[in-house]
Amino acid sequence: MVSLIGPVLLYTAVIYLMARYLPQTQVKDGGIVFVIAVVIALLNVGLSFGMRYTIEDLMTFFTITFFVRMILTVVALILLARLFNGFSLRGFWSAVLIGFAVTITGTIYDSLRQHDYPTGDENRPYFQEGDGRSNSSQSSQ
């Protein structure tokens, strides 16, 4: 199961701070920003899950995922700003700037989560033979 708590809180903070300091953006309630962050996090999880198994080249995967995630985030921000009265964007470029900040933050968060501590799964790269690291359940020869 994918944990959405971290990305949702991170996206909420980024969107709220960007919206507070950009003159073209208004936020009346933090709860609306939280709902927007939940929608964007769900879209990003679906995107990541769908693209993970279709592209094998790491550089191509990162580039395509980054730009698709950014486009999806910008479109979601524009549509959600029209749906909610407490969140408004005046201009396309403010949506692009917030979308870029959310995408960068999400990409950094995802890359940090991928390099988390080992869990004991021998299929992960942490436990390849000959790398000098082994888990405690493997016997040393």
For residue 91, give both structure tokens.
């201009």
Asked if residue 60 lies in contact with residue 74, where contact means CB atoms within 8 angstroms, the answer is no
Asked if residue 92 lies in contact with residue 84, where contact means CB atoms within 8 angstroms, the answer is no
- For residue 130, what pLDDT is reported? 53
Residues 6+ apart with CB under 8 A from 99: 70, 73, 74, 77
pTM: 0.68
The candidate with the shortest Cα–Cα distance to 76, out of 105, 39, 50, 46, is 39
Q: What's the pLDDT tens digit per position in 66-124?
A: 888 899 899 999 998 898 888 888 889 999 999 999 999 888 887 787 655 455 444 44
